[in-house]
Amino acid sequence: MSTLDETFMPLDPANYLNTAEDIAAYLEATLEEDGDDSAAIKRALGYIARSRNFSEIARQSGISREGLYKSLGEDGNPSLSTIIKVAHALGLKIRFEAA
């Protein structure tokens, strides 16, 4: 019998979001699974921002770094304007289609 101490770390999606395609697929999956849960979408955007240079996303979106942290943080509530700005800074477009 082995006495190996196994410690598991929580999965951090930020470690796997390397391309714009990865990011788009992750957001689409989040919307499909949790589309009516704004907290899940905010959490996904936070992971994505951490996967990139957070300061650069803040600069490109025209939002202060602190403001972006606050918006995407656990208690944050980003406006649609913030979400659109972050999406554009990440090279993404937001679109709607008929259900």
Q: Over the stretch 40-54, which tens digit does the pLDDT of each residue have?
A: 888 888 888 888 888
Task: Please state the domain count of the chain.
Answer: 1
Distance CA(46)–CA(76), nearest Å, equals 10
Is residue 36 one of the residues assigned to a domain? yes
Give yes or no for a contact between 87 and 80, defined as CB atoms under 8 angstroms apart: no
More confident: 39 or 63:
63
Q: Is residue 80 part of a domain?
A: yes
What range defines the domain where residue 28 resides?
19-89
Does residue 95 fall inside a structural domain?
A: no
In this prediction the pTM is: 0.75
| Residue 94 within a domain | no
Alpha-carbon separation of residue 15 from 52, 64, 67 (angstroms): 10, 24, 23
Q: Is residue 45 part of a domain?
A: yes
* Ramachandran sector of residue 95 (left: φ over 0; alpha: ψ -120 to 50; beta: rest): beta
Residue 97 lies in a domain: no
1 located within any domain: no
Is 71 within 8 Å of 61 (Cβ atoms)? no
